[in-house]
Amino acid sequence: MTIEILGQWADAQLNAVDLKTVFLASLVEKFIPVLPSYILFPAIGAGAATSQNLVCRCLIAVLGSIGGAVGWYAAGVAIGEDRVRSFVERYGMWLFLRPKLYNQMSTSYRRNPFIITVLGQMVPTVRIFHALPAGVLRLPFGSFLLATALGALCWISALAGAGYILHLQGWSVSETGVGIFAGLVATEVVALLAVVSAKKMRSLLSRPNSAAIAVGGRQSVPNRSF
């Protein structure tokens, strides 16, 4: 009974959320990752009254997400590479930004910045901080904004749309959030297992045949019986 009351209360709160609140929530999510995007955006979608309202919420949320990315980009430009790296090494663990992740993002940006920016918007944790190394490397600002907008639009629309559809099917806000979170976790686990299996398969195929080595080794040893 208590869960039902909480669900009804959450539904009422979401229905009362205006577009200004959607913008602020999307902006703050880029700086204070207290509420993950895979919970925030389905909840925003679940609170949409109509499909038109859903589209408006998605577009406003994209603007908020872009605003957060611009903030991190500006910080990277202003602070500089050495101080950013020192900050990440000292305090990154408290922001879920470990030095290894920061180094991976920096390396990826040097290869294909546009695609990495788009994909980075669709990876939890990475989507929060990916603009920091982009600012440090001073990537072209126009293409950075375009890539950020495309990635954010794909990620937010998918999550908010799923939240809206599930809510129409009678799912409560809490059930919608938990269901989408479980689906994302399951997808990540399957993808991780597939990657690990592919690496193992490539490793096995790249190894020389041990039997062939043994035969070749015996054939190469000269006959000392004479």
d(CA 111, CA 103): 13
List, in order, residues 6 or more apart from 50 with CB less than 8 Å away. Answer: none
- pLDDT tens, 73-112? 999 899 888 888 887 787 666 666 777 777 777 777 777 8
Per-residue pLDDT tens digits for 47-71: 788 889 899 999 999 999 999 999 9
At 204, list the tokens: 């096995």
What pLDDT is recorded for position 117?
A: 87
Q: Distance between CA atoms of 136 and 79, rounded to whole angstroms?
A: 8
Tell me which amino acid residue 135 is.
G
Residue count of the chain: 226
pLDDT of residue 216: 53
DSSP conformational letter for 218: H
Q: What is the pLDDT of residue 226?
A: 41
Residues of the chain where predicted confidence (pLDDT) is lower than 50: 1-3, 5-7, 9, 12-13, 16, 210-213, 219-221, 224-226
CA neighbor of 44 nearest in space, from 57, 56, 55: 57
The mean of the pLDDT values for the chain is 76
15: which residues sit within 8 A by CB, 6+ positions away?
Answer: 47, 49
Which is nearest to 106 in space by CA: 71, 65, 76, 78? 76
Whole-model pTM: value is: 0.70
